[in-house]
Structure 1
Amino acid sequence: MIIISLLLLASLLPHLTFTARVNVGIVNGSEAKPHSRPYMVSVQSKEHHICGGFLISDRFVMTAAHCRNNSPIVTVVLGAHDLKKSENSVRFTVHSYHQHPNYTNKSFHDDILLLKLEKNVKLNDNIKWISIPAEEGDIEAGSVCSIAGWGSLITNGTRSDRLMETNVKVMNNTECEHKWGKNDFSSSQMMCVHDKGGSCDGDSGGPLVCGDTAVGVTSFGDPDLCNSLKLPEVYIKISAYLPWIKKIIGNFN
Protein backbone atom coordinates (compact mmCIF):
# COMPACT_ATOMS: atom_id res chain seq x y z
CA MET A 1 0.00 0.00 0.00
CA ILE A 2 1.29 3.43 -0.81
CA ILE A 3 0.62 6.65 1.03
CA ILE A 4 -1.98 8.73 -0.77
CA SER A 5 -0.11 11.49 -2.57
CA LEU A 6 -0.39 15.10 -1.54
CA LEU A 7 -1.65 15.83 -5.02
CA LEU A 8 -4.47 13.34 -4.57
CA LEU A 9 -5.41 14.84 -1.21
CA ALA A 10 -5.21 18.36 -2.59
CA SER A 11 -7.53 17.45 -5.42
CA LEU A 12 -10.00 15.80 -3.07
CA LEU A 13 -10.24 18.24 -0.22
CA PRO A 14 -11.53 21.34 -2.04
CA HIS A 15 -14.56 19.35 -3.10
CA LEU A 16 -15.44 18.15 0.39
CA THR A 17 -17.75 19.85 2.84
CA PHE A 18 -15.15 19.26 5.55
CA THR A 19 -11.47 18.44 5.82
CA ALA A 20 -10.96 14.75 6.43
CA ARG A 21 -8.16 12.36 5.78
CA VAL A 22 -8.70 9.63 3.26
CA ASN A 23 -7.68 6.51 5.12
CA VAL A 24 -4.91 4.22 3.97
CA GLY A 25 -2.98 2.15 6.69
CA ILE A 26 -2.73 0.54 10.16
CA VAL A 27 -1.16 2.26 13.19
CA ASN A 28 0.02 0.28 16.23
CA GLY A 29 -0.94 -2.99 14.58
CA SER A 30 0.88 -6.22 13.88
CA GLU A 31 1.52 -8.24 10.76
CA ALA A 32 -1.37 -10.53 9.92
CA LYS A 33 -0.72 -14.23 9.59
CA PRO A 34 -0.29 -14.69 5.82
CA HIS A 35 -3.63 -15.40 4.14
CA SER A 36 -5.53 -15.44 7.43
CA ARG A 37 -7.83 -12.83 5.92
CA PRO A 38 -8.43 -14.37 2.47
CA TYR A 39 -11.18 -11.87 1.71
CA MET A 40 -8.78 -8.88 1.68
CA VAL A 41 -8.35 -7.11 -1.65
CA SER A 42 -5.82 -4.56 -2.87
CA VAL A 43 -7.55 -2.03 -5.13
CA GLN A 44 -4.94 -0.67 -7.52
CA SER A 45 -4.42 2.04 -10.12
CA LYS A 46 -1.69 1.39 -12.69
CA GLU A 47 -0.61 -1.57 -10.52
CA HIS A 48 -0.08 0.63 -7.45
CA HIS A 49 -2.17 0.09 -4.32
CA ILE A 50 -4.60 2.94 -3.66
CA CYS A 51 -7.25 1.37 -1.43
CA GLY A 52 -8.34 -1.73 0.38
CA GLY A 53 -11.41 -3.76 -0.43
CA PHE A 54 -12.96 -7.12 0.34
CA LEU A 55 -14.54 -9.98 -1.55
CA ILE A 56 -18.25 -10.45 -0.70
CA SER A 57 -19.11 -13.07 -3.35
CA ASP A 58 -17.31 -14.94 -6.11
CA ARG A 59 -17.88 -11.96 -8.46
CA PHE A 60 -18.07 -8.77 -6.35
CA VAL A 61 -15.64 -6.69 -4.31
CA MET A 62 -16.86 -4.01 -1.88
CA THR A 63 -14.81 -0.86 -1.31
CA ALA A 64 -15.23 2.90 -0.75
CA ALA A 65 -16.68 5.06 -3.52
CA HIS A 66 -14.10 7.82 -2.99
CA CYS A 67 -11.35 5.42 -4.08
CA ARG A 68 -12.30 6.23 -7.68
CA ASN A 69 -12.32 10.03 -7.32
CA ASN A 70 -8.91 10.26 -8.98
CA SER A 71 -8.61 6.73 -10.36
CA PRO A 72 -11.70 5.95 -12.46
CA ILE A 73 -10.14 2.73 -13.76
CA VAL A 74 -8.88 0.21 -11.18
CA THR A 75 -7.85 -3.42 -11.01
CA VAL A 76 -7.99 -5.65 -7.95
CA VAL A 77 -5.50 -8.10 -6.52
CA LEU A 78 -6.82 -11.06 -4.54
CA GLY A 79 -4.90 -13.58 -2.46
CA ALA A 80 -2.04 -11.23 -1.54
CA HIS A 81 -0.14 -10.88 1.72
CA ASP A 82 3.08 -9.16 0.63
CA LEU A 83 2.26 -6.82 -2.25
CA LYS A 84 5.83 -7.14 -3.53
CA LYS A 85 5.31 -10.86 -4.09
CA SER A 86 2.81 -12.23 -6.60
CA GLU A 87 3.11 -16.01 -6.28
CA ASN A 88 -0.18 -16.44 -4.39
CA SER A 89 -2.11 -13.49 -5.78
CA VAL A 90 -4.36 -13.02 -8.80
CA ARG A 91 -5.15 -9.75 -10.59
CA PHE A 92 -8.63 -9.12 -11.98
CA THR A 93 -9.93 -6.38 -14.20
CA VAL A 94 -13.24 -4.77 -13.29
CA HIS A 95 -16.23 -5.50 -15.53
CA SER A 96 -18.48 -2.76 -14.11
CA TYR A 97 -18.55 -0.14 -11.34
CA HIS A 98 -21.59 0.27 -9.09
CA GLN A 99 -21.23 3.43 -7.01
CA HIS A 100 -24.04 4.29 -4.63
CA PRO A 101 -26.31 6.68 -6.56
CA ASN A 102 -26.31 9.27 -3.76
CA TYR A 103 -22.52 9.49 -3.44
CA THR A 104 -20.76 12.68 -4.56
CA ASN A 105 -17.17 13.79 -4.02
CA LYS A 106 -18.42 16.70 -1.90
CA SER A 107 -18.70 14.49 1.22
CA PHE A 108 -18.24 10.93 2.42
CA HIS A 109 -21.95 10.21 2.72
CA ASP A 110 -22.94 7.00 0.89
CA ASP A 111 -19.23 6.26 0.40
CA ILE A 112 -19.70 2.71 -0.86
CA LEU A 113 -18.83 1.02 -4.16
CA LEU A 114 -19.30 -2.45 -5.62
CA LEU A 115 -16.87 -3.74 -8.23
CA LYS A 116 -18.15 -6.50 -10.51
CA LEU A 117 -15.15 -8.51 -11.64
CA GLU A 118 -14.48 -9.65 -15.20
CA LYS A 119 -15.24 -13.26 -14.26
CA ASN A 120 -16.06 -15.39 -11.25
CA VAL A 121 -13.24 -15.82 -8.78
CA LYS A 122 -11.86 -19.31 -8.28
CA LEU A 123 -11.92 -19.67 -4.50
CA ASN A 124 -9.08 -21.41 -2.63
CA ASP A 125 -7.28 -21.25 0.73
CA ASN A 126 -5.92 -17.78 -0.08
CA ILE A 127 -9.05 -16.32 -1.71
CA LYS A 128 -12.43 -16.52 0.02
CA TRP A 129 -15.35 -14.15 0.42
CA ILE A 130 -16.56 -12.79 3.74
CA SER A 131 -20.15 -12.54 4.94
CA ILE A 132 -21.92 -9.20 5.28
CA PRO A 133 -24.87 -8.53 7.61
CA ALA A 134 -28.15 -10.24 6.78
CA GLU A 135 -30.31 -7.46 8.23
CA GLU A 136 -30.00 -3.83 9.26
CA GLY A 137 -28.82 -3.04 12.77
CA ASP A 138 -26.13 -1.36 14.86
CA ILE A 139 -23.10 -3.02 16.40
CA GLU A 140 -23.17 -2.57 20.17
CA ALA A 141 -20.81 0.11 21.49
CA GLY A 142 -17.77 -1.48 23.12
CA SER A 143 -17.72 -4.45 20.76
CA VAL A 144 -14.21 -5.53 19.82
CA CYS A 145 -13.77 -5.83 16.06
CA SER A 146 -10.77 -5.74 13.72
CA ILE A 147 -9.38 -3.91 10.72
CA ALA A 148 -6.55 -4.69 8.31
CA GLY A 149 -4.65 -2.99 5.51
CA TRP A 150 -1.43 -2.29 3.67
CA GLY A 151 -1.12 1.38 4.58
CA SER A 152 1.23 3.62 6.52
CA LEU A 153 2.33 2.58 9.97
CA ILE A 154 2.41 6.09 11.46
CA THR A 155 1.02 9.48 10.44
CA ASN A 156 2.91 10.60 7.31
CA GLY A 157 5.02 7.45 7.64
CA THR A 158 6.10 4.68 5.33
CA ARG A 159 3.77 2.04 3.96
CA SER A 160 3.76 -1.66 4.71
CA ASP A 161 4.01 -4.12 1.84
CA ARG A 162 2.69 -6.84 4.15
CA LEU A 163 -0.85 -6.91 5.45
CA MET A 164 -1.19 -5.42 8.93
CA GLU A 165 -4.08 -5.79 11.38
CA THR A 166 -5.31 -4.52 14.73
CA ASN A 167 -8.33 -4.76 17.03
CA VAL A 168 -10.60 -1.76 17.56
CA LYS A 169 -13.61 -0.95 19.73
CA VAL A 170 -16.91 0.31 18.36
CA MET A 171 -17.83 3.73 19.75
CA ASN A 172 -21.22 5.08 20.71
CA ASN A 173 -22.89 6.72 17.70
CA THR A 174 -23.97 9.78 19.71
CA GLU A 175 -20.36 10.32 20.77
CA CYS A 176 -19.20 10.00 17.14
CA GLU A 177 -21.79 12.51 16.01
CA HIS A 178 -20.74 14.92 18.76
CA LYS A 179 -17.08 14.72 17.70
CA TRP A 180 -17.62 15.04 13.95
CA GLY A 181 -20.84 17.07 13.81
CA LYS A 182 -24.16 16.19 12.19
CA ASN A 183 -23.16 17.49 8.77
CA ASP A 184 -20.22 15.10 8.48
CA PHE A 185 -21.35 12.10 10.52
CA SER A 186 -24.62 10.31 9.78
CA SER A 187 -25.61 7.88 12.53
CA SER A 188 -27.90 6.02 10.11
CA GLN A 189 -25.11 5.47 7.57
CA MET A 190 -21.92 5.44 9.61
CA MET A 191 -20.17 4.11 12.69
CA CYS A 192 -16.80 4.87 14.25
CA VAL A 193 -14.16 3.03 16.26
CA HIS A 194 -11.12 3.76 18.40
CA ASP A 195 -8.45 1.84 20.29
CA LYS A 196 -4.67 1.83 20.65
CA GLY A 197 -4.47 0.85 16.98
CA GLY A 198 -6.35 2.19 13.99
CA SER A 199 -6.33 2.96 10.30
CA CYS A 200 -4.00 5.50 8.71
CA ASP A 201 -3.16 6.83 5.24
CA GLY A 202 -3.85 3.92 2.82
CA ASP A 203 -6.77 1.68 4.05
CA SER A 204 -9.89 3.25 2.57
CA GLY A 205 -12.35 0.64 1.39
CA GLY A 206 -11.11 -2.10 3.69
CA PRO A 207 -13.53 -3.91 6.00
CA LEU A 208 -14.38 -3.46 9.65
CA VAL A 209 -14.84 -7.07 10.73
CA CYS A 210 -16.86 -8.10 13.78
CA GLY A 211 -16.77 -11.83 14.42
CA ASP A 212 -16.73 -13.37 10.96
CA THR A 213 -18.80 -10.62 9.31
CA ALA A 214 -17.76 -7.44 7.50
CA VAL A 215 -19.95 -4.72 9.03
CA GLY A 216 -18.25 -1.52 7.83
CA VAL A 217 -16.24 0.04 5.00
CA THR A 218 -13.26 2.23 5.96
CA SER A 219 -14.14 5.78 4.88
CA PHE A 220 -12.45 8.78 6.57
CA GLY A 221 -10.69 10.15 9.63
CA ASP A 222 -8.80 13.05 11.21
CA PRO A 223 -6.86 14.95 8.50
CA ASP A 224 -3.87 15.56 10.78
CA LEU A 225 -3.46 12.45 12.91
CA CYS A 226 -3.95 8.75 12.25
CA ASN A 227 -5.99 6.99 14.93
CA SER A 228 -7.14 10.25 16.54
CA LEU A 229 -9.54 10.16 19.47
CA LYS A 230 -10.57 13.75 18.82
CA LEU A 231 -11.87 12.79 15.36
CA PRO A 232 -12.14 8.98 15.34
CA GLU A 233 -12.08 6.78 12.25
CA VAL A 234 -15.42 6.55 10.45
CA TYR A 235 -16.83 3.54 8.60
CA ILE A 236 -19.80 3.21 6.28
CA LYS A 237 -22.36 0.88 7.92
CA ILE A 238 -22.96 -1.94 5.44
CA SER A 239 -26.28 -3.02 6.94
CA ALA A 240 -27.80 0.35 6.00
CA TYR A 241 -27.30 -0.50 2.31
CA LEU A 242 -28.60 -4.05 2.06
CA PRO A 243 -31.52 -3.33 -0.33
CA TRP A 244 -29.15 -1.50 -2.70
CA ILE A 245 -26.53 -4.25 -2.47
CA LYS A 246 -29.06 -6.98 -3.14
CA LYS A 247 -30.44 -5.08 -6.13
CA ILE A 248 -26.99 -5.17 -7.73
CA ILE A 249 -25.60 -8.57 -6.82
CA GLY A 250 -28.75 -10.56 -6.09
CA ASN A 251 -28.83 -12.95 -3.16
CA PHE A 252 -25.62 -13.09 -1.15
CA ASN A 253 -24.10 -15.04 1.75
Structure 2
Amino acid sequence: MKTCVILLVLVVWANAKEFDVRRQHPVVFPSRALPAVKKASLPRALENGFKSAKAKITGGSSAALGQIPFHVSIESDETDFCNGAIIHPYYIVTTAYCVEGGSEFTIYAGVVKRHGDESSRVIVKSNETYIHVGRNQHNNDGNIALIKLPEGLRFNEYISAALLPWNDDQFVDDDAWISGWGSQDEGGALAPILQYAAVTVISNEDCGKAYGSDMQTSDICTRAVKGLGECDYDNGGPLFKNITEGASLLIGLSAFNAGCLTMAPDGFSRVSAYRDWINEHLQST
Protein backbone atom coordinates (compact mmCIF):
# COMPACT_ATOMS: atom_id res chain seq x y z
CA MET A 1 0.00 0.00 0.00
CA LYS A 2 2.82 2.39 0.96
CA THR A 3 4.53 1.52 -2.29
CA CYS A 4 1.39 2.52 -4.27
CA VAL A 5 1.15 5.82 -2.43
CA ILE A 6 4.82 6.57 -3.05
CA LEU A 7 4.40 5.78 -6.77
CA LEU A 8 1.31 8.01 -6.97
CA VAL A 9 3.19 10.87 -5.31
CA LEU A 10 6.08 10.44 -7.75
CA VAL A 11 3.72 10.49 -10.75
CA VAL A 12 1.99 13.68 -9.52
CA TRP A 13 5.37 15.31 -8.82
CA ALA A 14 6.67 14.37 -12.28
CA ASN A 15 3.57 15.78 -14.00
CA ALA A 16 3.87 18.97 -11.98
CA LYS A 17 7.51 19.35 -12.99
CA GLU A 18 6.63 18.72 -16.68
CA PHE A 19 3.88 21.36 -16.52
CA ASP A 20 6.31 23.81 -14.91
CA VAL A 21 8.87 23.15 -17.66
CA ARG A 22 6.19 23.75 -20.34
CA ARG A 23 5.31 27.07 -18.72
CA GLN A 24 8.95 28.13 -18.83
CA HIS A 25 9.55 26.73 -22.35
CA PRO A 26 6.29 26.88 -24.36
CA VAL A 27 5.79 24.17 -26.95
CA VAL A 28 6.64 25.32 -30.49
CA PHE A 29 4.26 23.73 -32.98
CA PRO A 30 5.69 22.40 -36.25
CA SER A 31 5.36 24.57 -39.36
CA ARG A 32 2.67 22.32 -40.84
CA ALA A 33 0.31 23.62 -38.12
CA LEU A 34 0.63 27.25 -39.26
CA PRO A 35 -1.89 27.26 -42.15
CA ALA A 36 -4.69 26.36 -39.74
CA VAL A 37 -3.66 29.25 -37.49
CA LYS A 38 -3.68 31.67 -40.43
CA LYS A 39 -7.08 30.47 -41.57
CA ALA A 40 -8.50 30.86 -38.08
CA SER A 41 -7.21 34.44 -37.82
CA LEU A 42 -8.68 35.50 -41.18
CA PRO A 43 -12.08 36.72 -39.88
CA ARG A 44 -10.31 39.13 -37.50
CA ALA A 45 -8.39 40.58 -40.44
CA LEU A 46 -11.69 41.11 -42.24
CA GLU A 47 -13.77 42.43 -39.35
CA ASN A 48 -13.70 45.95 -40.81
CA GLY A 49 -14.02 44.73 -44.37
CA PHE A 50 -10.37 45.32 -45.25
CA LYS A 51 -8.05 42.74 -46.72
CA SER A 52 -4.52 43.42 -47.88
CA ALA A 53 -3.64 42.78 -51.51
CA LYS A 54 -0.80 40.27 -51.48
CA ALA A 55 1.28 41.32 -54.47
CA LYS A 56 4.48 39.27 -54.53
CA ILE A 57 6.62 39.94 -57.62
CA THR A 58 8.17 42.97 -59.28
CA GLY A 59 6.83 42.47 -62.83
CA GLY A 60 3.36 42.29 -64.31
CA SER A 61 1.49 39.11 -63.42
CA SER A 62 -1.97 37.57 -63.28
CA ALA A 63 -3.72 38.05 -59.96
CA ALA A 64 -5.10 35.15 -57.95
CA LEU A 65 -8.70 35.16 -56.79
CA GLY A 66 -8.97 37.22 -53.62
CA GLN A 67 -5.51 38.74 -54.05
CA ILE A 68 -6.82 42.25 -54.79
CA PRO A 69 -10.29 42.01 -53.23
CA PHE A 70 -11.20 45.69 -53.67
CA HIS A 71 -10.65 45.79 -57.45
CA VAL A 72 -13.83 45.68 -59.56
CA SER A 73 -14.62 45.87 -63.25
CA ILE A 74 -17.16 48.40 -64.53
CA GLU A 75 -19.23 48.04 -67.70
CA SER A 76 -21.68 50.70 -68.81
CA ASP A 77 -24.26 51.41 -71.48
CA GLU A 78 -22.14 54.24 -72.92
CA THR A 79 -18.52 54.49 -71.73
CA ASP A 80 -15.54 52.20 -72.35
CA PHE A 81 -14.69 49.29 -70.08
CA CYS A 82 -13.29 50.61 -66.81
CA ASN A 83 -11.94 49.62 -63.43
CA GLY A 84 -12.76 50.78 -59.92
CA ALA A 85 -12.11 50.16 -56.24
CA ILE A 86 -14.42 49.27 -53.38
CA ILE A 87 -14.11 51.77 -50.52
CA HIS A 88 -17.39 51.03 -48.68
CA PRO A 89 -20.10 48.34 -48.93
CA TYR A 90 -22.21 50.85 -50.90
CA TYR A 91 -19.53 52.76 -52.84
CA ILE A 92 -17.15 52.19 -55.74
CA VAL A 93 -14.62 54.91 -56.58
CA THR A 94 -13.35 55.37 -60.13
CA THR A 95 -12.43 58.21 -62.47
CA ALA A 96 -15.02 60.68 -63.75
CA TYR A 97 -14.16 59.61 -67.29
CA CYS A 98 -15.56 56.14 -66.51
CA VAL A 99 -19.08 57.37 -65.72
CA GLU A 100 -19.49 60.44 -67.92
CA GLY A 101 -22.31 59.92 -70.42
CA GLY A 102 -23.40 56.60 -68.95
CA SER A 103 -26.71 55.91 -67.24
CA GLU A 104 -26.43 52.30 -66.07
CA PHE A 105 -23.32 50.60 -64.69
CA THR A 106 -22.66 46.93 -64.05
CA ILE A 107 -20.14 46.19 -61.31
CA TYR A 108 -18.36 42.83 -61.11
CA ALA A 109 -16.77 42.14 -57.71
CA GLY A 110 -15.00 39.05 -56.37
CA VAL A 111 -13.51 38.10 -59.75
CA VAL A 112 -10.18 38.01 -61.55
CA LYS A 113 -11.59 36.78 -64.87
CA ARG A 114 -13.00 39.64 -66.92
CA HIS A 115 -15.87 37.41 -68.00
CA GLY A 116 -15.66 35.41 -64.81
CA ASP A 117 -17.63 32.39 -63.74
CA GLU A 118 -16.11 32.28 -60.25
CA SER A 119 -18.48 31.19 -57.49
CA SER A 120 -17.31 34.28 -55.54
CA ARG A 121 -18.59 36.62 -58.27
CA VAL A 122 -21.12 39.30 -57.31
CA ILE A 123 -22.82 41.44 -59.98
CA VAL A 124 -24.54 44.69 -59.03
CA LYS A 125 -26.19 47.23 -61.33
CA SER A 126 -26.36 50.93 -60.45
CA ASN A 127 -27.60 54.13 -62.05
CA GLU A 128 -26.52 56.47 -59.23
CA THR A 129 -23.20 58.25 -59.78
CA TYR A 130 -21.48 61.33 -58.40
CA ILE A 131 -18.82 63.23 -60.37
CA HIS A 132 -16.61 65.67 -58.50
CA VAL A 133 -17.83 69.26 -58.89
CA GLY A 134 -14.29 70.37 -59.80
CA ARG A 135 -14.14 68.18 -62.91
CA ASN A 136 -12.11 69.95 -65.61
CA GLN A 137 -12.30 68.47 -69.11
CA HIS A 138 -9.04 70.19 -70.13
CA ASN A 139 -6.81 68.53 -67.51
CA ASN A 140 -7.06 65.82 -64.86
CA ASP A 141 -8.41 68.03 -62.09
CA GLY A 142 -11.59 66.63 -60.54
CA ASN A 143 -11.26 63.38 -62.45
CA ILE A 144 -12.90 61.20 -59.82
CA ALA A 145 -16.37 59.74 -59.35
CA LEU A 146 -18.39 57.54 -57.02
CA ILE A 147 -20.86 54.84 -57.98
CA LYS A 148 -23.41 54.18 -55.26
CA LEU A 149 -24.75 50.65 -55.14
CA PRO A 150 -28.45 49.98 -54.45
CA GLU A 151 -27.49 47.18 -52.08
CA GLY A 152 -24.38 46.82 -49.95
CA LEU A 153 -21.69 44.30 -50.84
CA ARG A 154 -21.11 41.51 -48.35
CA PHE A 155 -17.41 41.48 -47.53
CA ASN A 156 -15.57 38.18 -47.42
CA GLU A 157 -12.26 36.65 -48.45
CA TYR A 158 -12.77 37.73 -52.07
CA ILE A 159 -14.57 41.07 -51.70
CA SER A 160 -13.50 43.84 -49.34
CA ALA A 161 -12.62 47.53 -49.24
CA ALA A 162 -9.39 49.49 -49.58
CA LEU A 163 -8.54 52.15 -47.03
CA LEU A 164 -8.64 55.85 -47.91
CA PRO A 165 -5.60 58.05 -47.14
CA TRP A 166 -5.92 59.84 -43.78
CA ASN A 167 -3.35 62.57 -44.52
CA ASP A 168 -1.64 64.35 -47.42
CA ASP A 169 1.45 62.15 -47.64
CA GLN A 170 2.98 62.44 -51.13
CA PHE A 171 4.45 58.88 -51.09
CA VAL A 172 7.43 60.01 -53.19
CA ASP A 173 9.86 57.12 -53.85
CA ASP A 174 7.48 54.67 -52.14
CA ASP A 175 6.83 51.23 -53.62
CA ALA A 176 3.25 50.70 -54.74
CA TRP A 177 1.12 48.46 -56.97
CA ILE A 178 -1.18 48.92 -59.95
CA SER A 179 -3.84 46.55 -61.27
CA GLY A 180 -6.24 46.39 -64.17
CA TRP A 181 -7.79 44.42 -67.03
CA GLY A 182 -6.43 46.81 -69.65
CA SER A 183 -4.71 45.72 -72.86
CA GLN A 184 -1.13 44.55 -72.63
CA ASP A 185 0.00 46.50 -75.69
CA GLU A 186 -1.16 49.56 -77.62
CA GLY A 187 -4.51 48.83 -79.27
CA GLY A 188 -4.52 45.24 -78.01
CA ALA A 189 -7.35 43.23 -76.52
CA LEU A 190 -8.26 43.50 -72.86
CA ALA A 191 -6.54 41.05 -70.53
CA PRO A 192 -8.70 38.01 -69.70
CA ILE A 193 -7.23 37.85 -66.16
CA LEU A 194 -6.70 40.80 -63.81
CA GLN A 195 -3.08 41.98 -64.04
CA TYR A 196 -0.93 43.67 -61.39
CA ALA A 197 2.58 45.08 -61.23
CA ALA A 198 5.01 46.80 -58.89
CA VAL A 199 5.69 50.52 -59.45
CA THR A 200 7.41 53.44 -57.72
CA VAL A 201 5.74 56.77 -56.93
CA ILE A 202 7.57 59.89 -58.14
CA SER A 203 7.19 63.58 -57.31
CA ASN A 204 4.82 65.80 -59.26
CA GLU A 205 7.85 67.90 -60.17
CA ASP A 206 9.45 64.95 -61.93
CA CYS A 207 6.14 63.97 -63.54
CA GLY A 208 5.72 67.53 -64.78
CA LYS A 209 8.85 67.16 -66.91
CA ALA A 210 6.77 64.94 -69.15
CA TYR A 211 3.35 66.62 -68.85
CA GLY A 212 4.24 70.27 -68.22
CA SER A 213 1.53 72.70 -67.14
CA ASP A 214 -1.14 70.00 -67.37
CA MET A 215 0.08 68.62 -64.03
CA GLN A 216 -2.20 69.30 -61.06
CA THR A 217 -1.60 68.98 -57.32
CA SER A 218 -4.46 66.47 -57.44
CA ASP A 219 -2.33 64.17 -59.64
CA ILE A 220 0.07 61.44 -58.54
CA CYS A 221 2.49 59.65 -60.87
CA THR A 222 4.62 56.52 -61.08
CA ARG A 223 8.09 56.14 -62.59
CA ALA A 224 8.35 55.16 -66.24
CA VAL A 225 9.62 51.62 -66.74
CA LYS A 226 10.03 50.20 -70.23
CA GLY A 227 7.35 47.61 -70.96
CA LEU A 228 5.59 48.01 -67.63
CA GLY A 229 2.68 50.21 -66.61
CA GLU A 230 -0.81 51.36 -67.52
CA CYS A 231 -2.34 50.80 -70.97
CA ASP A 232 -5.67 51.06 -72.79
CA TYR A 233 -8.76 50.34 -70.67
CA ASP A 234 -6.90 50.50 -67.35
CA ASN A 235 -8.76 53.74 -66.55
CA GLY A 236 -10.06 53.89 -62.98
CA GLY A 237 -7.77 51.10 -61.81
CA PRO A 238 -6.21 51.43 -58.35
CA LEU A 239 -2.74 52.57 -57.37
CA PHE A 240 -2.27 51.18 -53.88
CA LYS A 241 0.13 50.47 -51.05
CA ASN A 242 0.21 47.62 -48.55
CA ILE A 243 0.38 49.18 -45.10
CA THR A 244 -0.51 46.32 -42.73
CA GLU A 245 -1.43 42.66 -42.85
CA GLY A 246 -5.07 43.71 -42.75
CA ALA A 247 -5.42 46.51 -45.29
CA SER A 248 -4.27 48.14 -48.51
CA LEU A 249 -4.19 51.91 -48.93
CA LEU A 250 -5.76 53.36 -52.08
CA ILE A 251 -3.62 56.33 -53.18
CA GLY A 252 -4.55 56.80 -56.84
CA LEU A 253 -6.86 55.95 -59.74
CA SER A 254 -5.47 55.39 -63.22
CA ALA A 255 -6.25 58.50 -65.27
CA PHE A 256 -3.69 59.39 -67.97
CA ASN A 257 -0.51 58.34 -69.75
CA ALA A 258 1.46 59.19 -72.87
CA GLY A 259 0.91 55.77 -74.45
CA CYS A 260 1.42 52.15 -73.47
CA LEU A 261 4.97 51.78 -74.77
CA THR A 262 6.35 55.27 -74.23
CA MET A 263 8.97 56.05 -71.60
CA ALA A 264 6.80 58.52 -69.70
CA PRO A 265 5.25 58.36 -66.22
CA ASP A 266 1.75 57.00 -65.68
CA GLY A 267 -0.69 59.51 -64.15
CA PHE A 268 -3.37 58.94 -61.53
CA SER A 269 -6.00 60.97 -59.71
CA ARG A 270 -4.61 61.46 -56.18
CA VAL A 271 -7.24 60.04 -53.81
CA SER A 272 -6.14 62.12 -50.79
CA ALA A 273 -6.96 65.30 -52.74
CA TYR A 274 -10.62 64.27 -52.70
CA ARG A 275 -10.75 62.76 -49.20
CA ASP A 276 -13.25 65.26 -47.76
CA TRP A 277 -15.55 65.00 -50.76
CA ILE A 278 -15.53 61.20 -50.60
CA ASN A 279 -16.13 61.14 -46.84
CA GLU A 280 -19.12 63.47 -47.17
CA HIS A 281 -20.81 60.85 -49.36
CA LEU A 282 -19.80 57.92 -47.18
CA GLN A 283 -21.07 59.59 -44.03
CA SER A 284 -24.42 60.39 -45.64
CA THR A 285 -25.14 56.70 -46.27
| Structure 1 residue 34, shift from structure 2 partner | 2.1
Mapped contact 1:199–1:227 kept (Cα < 8 A): no
2: CA distance, partners of 1:103 / 1:31: 33
* Paired amino acid for 2:220: M
Q: Which amino acid aligns with 1:193?
A: T
Is contact 1:69–1:105 with CA below 8 Å preserved after alignment? no
| 1:59 partnered with 2:90 | yes
Residues of 1 paired with 2:200 and 2:281: CA distance?
31
Q: In the alignment, does 2:221 pair up with 1:189?
A: no
2:16 corresponds to: none
**91-100 vs 204-213, which deviates more?**
91-100
In 1, are the aligned partners of 2:239 and 2:251 still within 8 Å (CA)? yes
Please list every run of 5 or more consecutive structure 1 residues that lacks an aligned counterpart in the other structure: 1-27
Q: Alignment length, in residue pairs?
A: 219
- Cα deviation for residue 157 of structure 1 reads 1.7
Greater fraction helix:
2
SS in 2 for 1:181: helix
Q: Quick check: 1:169 aligned with 2:200? A: yes
Higher RCO (CA-CA < 8 Å; seq separation 6+): 1
Displacement, 1:242?
1.1
Highest CA radius of gyration, 1 or 2? Answer: 2
Residue pairs, 1:126-165, within 5 angstroms: 126-140=158-172, 142-165=173-196
Name the SS for the 2:93 alignment partner.
strand
In the alignment, is the contact (CA less than 8 A) between 2:69 and 2:160 conserved in 1?
yes
Q: Deviations over 1:16-63 (max 9, x none)?
A: xxxxxxxxxxxx611112220011110112599710001001111000
| TM-score, normalised with respect to structure 1 | 0.80
Shift in CA distance, 100/36, structure 1 to aligned 2, threshold 3 Å: same
The Cα offsets for residues 161-203 of structure 1, whole Å up to 9 and x where unpaired, read as 1101101111121111121012x111x2011112342010011
Counterparts of 1:163 and 1:236 in 2: how far apart (Å)?
A: 21
Hey, what does 2:272 align to over in structure 1? Answer: 239
Offset of residue 131 of structure 1? 0.6
Q: Counterpart of 1:228?
A: 262
Distance 1:114 1:167 in 2: 26
In structure 1, which of residues 84, 90, 94 is the aligned counterpart of residue 122 of structure 2?
Answer: 90
Equivalent residues of 1:66, 1:108 under 8 A apart: no
CA distance in 2, matches of 1:95, 1:49: 16
More strand by share: 1
What is the 5 A alignment of 1:189-208? 189-194=218-223, 195-196=225-226, 197-208=228-239
State the SS of the aligned residue for 1:200. Answer: coil
The two structures, once aligned, show a CA RMSD in angstroms of 2.1
The aligned amino acid for 1:241 is Y
SS class of match (1:56): strand
- 1:110 aligns with 142
d(CA) in 1 for partners of 2:151 and 2:64? 28
Alpha-carbon separation, structure 1, partners of 2:269 and 2:79: 24
